[in-house]
Amino acid sequence: MILRVKNLTHSFEHLLYEDLNFGLNASESMAILGVSGSGKSSILNHLSTMLPPQKGSIDLCGLENIYTHSKQELLRLRRYDLGIIFQAHYLFRGFSAQENLNLATLLTGVQLDTKILKSLQIEKILHQNVGSLSGGQQQRVSIARVLCKKPKIIFADEPTGNLDCQTAKSVMDMMFEYIKQNKSALVLATHDEELAYRCNFVYRLKDKKLILENQK
């Protein structure tokens, strides 16, 4: 199992959720639905090593109870095994799309996959400065940067929010194909019900609980 979550509980000013339990195997995907502010993004932050929960444990990519490990071990896990797609693209402005992709491959030692670039329809804009790209193009470069590092698991927070419907569908088609071909996994936080129901498991974060709504 790539991901195992036990008794996850967290709060800020108030309790967000408590005693969440779920898991994910290779080649599987899960979606988390919920209203804004319910805690979907916080769950992804826990899973991607960036926010220790107040209670509970997370086993990820062979590393048990990840928050008992050193910052260096978590950095290594994040660099080599995790793919994180944020709502914002977090590209380096002042650099071209190609340079942004090269920085990612430099850190991981993985070569750029030209098939991914073509599938995302960005192979012809690589020379352009990211500041001159549209929001949709920037998001596709950001997604390519993640997929080209060949992560074992992808955490995606509203990954198609800046894309038109047709482009969003083709991007997600490619992402689902990626996890099947590479025996990876996908955890998706979204408001898009149609997109969520393409996943193997659909959870809804409601009343501080994570409720399984659908399973393929």
pLDDT at 98 (0 to 100): 96
Lookup result for tokens 């008992």: 68
* Share of residues in the chain with pLDDT > 70 (%): 100
Q: Could you tell me if 179 and 154 are in contact, meaning their C-beta atoms sit under 8 angstroms apart?
A: yes
pLDDT at 208 (0 to 100): 95
pLDDT at 105 (0 to 100): 85
pLDDT tens track for 137-173: 998 999 999 999 999 999 999 988 878 888 889 889 9
Torsion of CA 156, 178, 169, 99, to 10 degrees: 70
Q: Could you tell me if 180 and 187 are in contact, meaning their C-beta atoms sit under 8 angstroms apart?
A: no
* Mean pLDDT computed over 195-212: 96
The residue type found at 178 is Y
Torsion of CA 75, 2, 145, 150, to 10 degrees: 110
pLDDT at 183 (0 to 100): 96
pTM, rounded to two decimals: 0.94
For residue 3, pLDDT over 90 is answered with yes
Nearby residues of 22 by Cβ (< 8 Å), 6 or more positions away: 3, 5, 30, 201, 203, 210, 212
pLDDT tens track for 41-89: 999 999 999 999 999 999 999 999 999 999 999 999 999 999 999 877 7
For residue 99, pLDDT over 90 is answered with yes
14-23, 86-95, 185-194: which has the minimum mean pLDDT? 86-95
pLDDT tens track for 112-131: 899 999 999 999 999 999 99
Burial of residue 111 (number of CB atoms within 10 Å: 0-12, 13-18, 19+): exposed
Domain boundary assignment for the chain: 3-215
More confident residue, 69 or 36: 69
Report the mean per-residue pLDDT for the chain.
Answer: 93
| Distance (Å, whole) CA 39 – CA 174 | 27
pLDDT at 88 (0 to 100): 76
Superfamily of domain 3-215: P-loop containing nucleotide triphosphate hydrolases (3.40.50.300)
More confident residue, 216 or 56: 56
pLDDT at 109 (0 to 100): 86
